[in-house]
Chain A
């Protein structure tokens, strides 16, 4: 079975531009989460979506938005890019049984560089 897939793998943008990152969860997983990882830090939670609804949001500005589609795939959008948005963006999927021991399965990430 395919794992979590993300596209593109790498992306270079300039300040002020907008970017869309895509994620396809593992088949049967209905919950998708997005994380941002900058060098030297652990991944930081951005959003969680379940059944097309936002179920959690991290401490990120409104320039960050996301959505989930009927097939449970998801997009993360970042507007008005800043240099500080340069990071690895990870997507994770899980079965949303609402338990804390729910394992999250991660994709390989999209490396965004903002120049």
Chain B
């Protein structure tokens, strides 16, 4: 059984705060790690696909790092805004004959308050 774990489960921060959350995954047979942002009543939106140990990716105020040797990834949000409120999911892909299937963590629910 593949375990992908995320912490914390939920987070409340004030506007302007910086925050980060963790995704841990099996370090063996690593191929890639996906991060998604999922706002209520919308489709999950892909943020990053990370493949290389030490990788760091950035999209606006959001960035992510990857450590494949120890099996974790951090997602950082700098200067949180109310529109950042969402559930952030990480997913570990397993190759299939038609692409890959994703094993998701349970997500970190972020609420940014004014």
Interface residues of A (CB under 8 A from B): 3-4, 30-31, 33, 35, 40-45, 48-51, 53, 55-56, 58, 90, 92, 94-109
Contacts and interface: CB of A to CB of B under 8 A. Distances in A.
B43 A42 contact: no
Chain B interface size band reads 20 to 34
A40 B10 CA distance: 11
A97 B43 contact: no
Interface of B is mostly: strand
A22 to B, nearest CB: 15
Contacts of B31: 100-101
Interface stretch (B12-20, B68-76, B77-85, B100-108): B100-108
Contacts of B106: 40-42
Interface in B41-93: 41-46, 49, 51, 89, 91, 93
A103 B47 CA distance: 10
Contacts of A56: 96-98, 101
Contacts of B100: 94, 98-100, 102, 104
B98 A48 contact: yes
A48 B95 contact: no
B89 A42 contact: yes
B51 A31 contact: no
Given A55-B96, A90-B44, A45 B103 contact: yes
A27 B2 CA distance: 32
A102 B46 CA distance: 11
